[in-house]
Chain A
Amino acid sequence: MIVIQIQKKLQSATGEMLLNLDFEIRENNFVTLYGASGSGKTTTLRMLSGLTQADKGIITVNNENWLDTDKKIQLSPQKRNIAYVFQDYALFPNMSVRENLNYALEKGQDKSIIEELLALMELQQLQHQKPAQLSGGQKQRVALARALVRRPKILLLDEPLSAVDQEMRVKLQDYILQAHRKYQLTTILVSHDIAEIYKMSDKVIVLENGIISKNGRPDEVFSSRIVSGKFQFVGEILKIEKENFINIVVVLIGNNIVKIIAMDEEIQDLNIGNKVLIASKAFNPILTKIDSVPKSRDL
């Protein structure tokens, strides 16, 4: 269990802002921090890891005090044993993939973890390459593997997927989920992508101007009412066309463009670019084996 009650004054684009956080994260949960840029998401991760000092407050991890400004307790980043994946990956350019992982080993630590992580992240072929020779997705896997060498219990990911394309992104999400489950991590991800949040998180914390505006399950947070539909997707509105009595809303879900019929009252609050949740309650799905579907019928 992670308990965070901290305050920190931040200089944002709009002037001074007070980051005031009070939340708990249960062990083995996957939590996403969501919010506009400048809302304090990265600072939250940095304070949890000890890279940035909070002005006031406490951080307790599994009943261990990491920060208590009243008692003048401040554990250094070195002692927190946190896996942290930076936005720019922060791979050491002078070391190969394997050397980057080796560097993270603690004195006397069993080296078998290196082989295990190289295999898990499918990096064996790349182990002797230098970071400069790797693609964005490969760097991300190395950064994730390196962060896990010390067998930490907490994984912090600062928008690690923002710089890779959609296809790679989906693959990397799977690598992260795999690591999260295998090593029973408590993971905190900073993300802007609602589809990603739906796929990965148990909980989402929404930050607005330095305070938590919403905190709950992704479906609770992102839709105004709880939907019990079995099928639900998140997409972005590309176009709203009016045709006679109805409207056709064109929505981008992943890489697919889907047209959805909507009544006038349904589209009242909708604009192009809005993120929407598409759910269906009365649904009778047809199951067809993929190999047997002729190519021409592919969507």
Chain B
Amino acid sequence: MIDLQPIYLTLQLAFCTTLILLCLGLPLAYWLAFSKWKLKVIPEAVVSLPLVLPPSVLGFYLLLAFSPENTFGKFLDQYFDLRLVFTFSGLVVASVLYSLPFMVHPIQNGLKLLSPSLMEASFLLGKSKTETLFKVLIPNIKKSILTGIVLTFAHTIGEFGVVLMVGGSIPSETKVVSIAIYDEVQAMNYHNANVYAGILFAFAFIVLLCVYTINHRFSKTSPLQ
């Protein structure tokens, strides 16, 4: 019988990461979609960095930053009693950064594809930016938000490099499924590795199946998107 703990931990990590990213990603995507700031390309590039950067690079810098030996880590340790190296909280923070583009890009594109007159019409009807966002914009980019949620969740589940660098492999704390596979292979337990790998494989396939089904269904019902 294989140890189910890594599976729970993985789901927990993916759930926390997705929830936090939804709250962070929405305002960030809104700002990136509509801001007229000339230097907007800089934050845009930063958000996209995790797409091209090797996870080990991001993980390495996060490890340095979170380390209690260094300023940021020391600050967190002293004032918030928070340690992000080799802890679950550290994994969540790293995952949030690493999955950022998977949440922000779909929402940003969804907002950009909406006709600008929708937002303007709402303003001319006397509605504030916040009311317009929640009652007009968000309901009309449901597909994009759902895509962002599913992709973020799936991407977090598939993380390896960042998790290994920042979290290591501490059972019940940072040992997620992808790490467990690595450990099992190292220990020559091919059967267990196979089970973990099979679970991830099936999961990834189902997730992508969901994304495409959502896209097809929405594109049939809503000609606007």
Contact = CB atoms under 8 A, between A and B. Distances in A.
Tell whether A and B belong to one assembly: yes
A84 interface: yes
B120 A51 contact: yes
Nearest to A52: B120
B120 A77 contact: yes
Nearest to B135: A103
Contact of B121 (A76, A79, A86): A86
Contacts of A79: 126
Q: Which of A49, A51, A92 has the most CB of B within 10 A?
A: A92
A94 interface: yes
B24 to A, nearest CB: 24
A78 B131 CA distance: 12
A154 to B, nearest CB: 11
Given A92-B118, A94-B140, A132-B224, A77 B124 contact: yes
Interface in A197-216: none
A186 to B, nearest CB: 16
A80 B126 CA distance: 8
B117 A77 contact: no
Given A88-B115, A132-B222, A132-B224, A94 B123 contact: no
Interface in B86-131: 115, 117-118, 120-128
Interface residues of A, number: 26
B125 A150 contact: yes
Contacts of B124: 49, 51, 77-78, 80, 82-84, 147
Interface in B147-180: none
Contact of B120 (A83, A90, A147, A149): A90
A82 B122 CA distance: 12
A41 interface: no
Interface residues of B, number: 19
B117 A88 contact: yes
A87 B223 CA distance: 18
Contacts of A147: 124-125
Interface string A86-127: 111010111000000001101000000000000000000000
Q: Which of B117, B125, B127, B135 has the most CB of A within 10 A?
A: B125
B125 A93 contact: no
A80 B124 CA distance: 8
A147 B117 CA distance: 13
Contacts of B117: 86-88, 90
Contacts of B139: 92, 94
B136 interface: yes
Do most interface residues of chain B lie in helix, strand or loop, or is the interface mixed? Answer: helix
Contact of A90 (B121, B127, B222, B223): B121
A84 B222 CA distance: 25
A77 B123 contact: yes
Contacts of A74: none
B128 A78 contact: yes
Nearest to A158: B117
A51 B222 contact: no
A69 interface: no
A92 B117 CA distance: 10
Interface in A116-167: 132, 146-147, 149-150
Given A51-B120, A132-B222, A103 B125 contact: yes
A5 interface: no
B135 to A, nearest CB: 7
Contact of B126 (A51, A78, A132): A78
A77 B115 CA distance: 18
B140 A93 contact: yes
Nearest to A99: B135
A84 B127 contact: no
A90 B114 CA distance: 10
A173 interface: no
A90 B123 CA distance: 12
B222 A93 contact: yes
A20 interface: no
A92 B136 contact: yes
A111 to B, nearest CB: 15
Interface string B25-37: 0000000000000
Contacts of B140: 92-94
Contacts of B224: 93, 132
A49 B117 CA distance: 13
A51 B124 CA distance: 8
- Pairs A-B, 6 closest by C-beta atoms: A90-B121, A90-B117, A94-B139, A86-B117, A104-B125, A77-B123
11 contacts: A78-B123, A78-B126, A84-B124, A86-B117, A88-B115, A90-B118, A103-B122, A103-B127, A147-B124, A149-B125, A150-B125
Given A78-B124, A90-B121, A92-B118, 6 more contacts: A78-B127, A84-B124, A92-B139, A103-B135, A147-B124, A150-B125
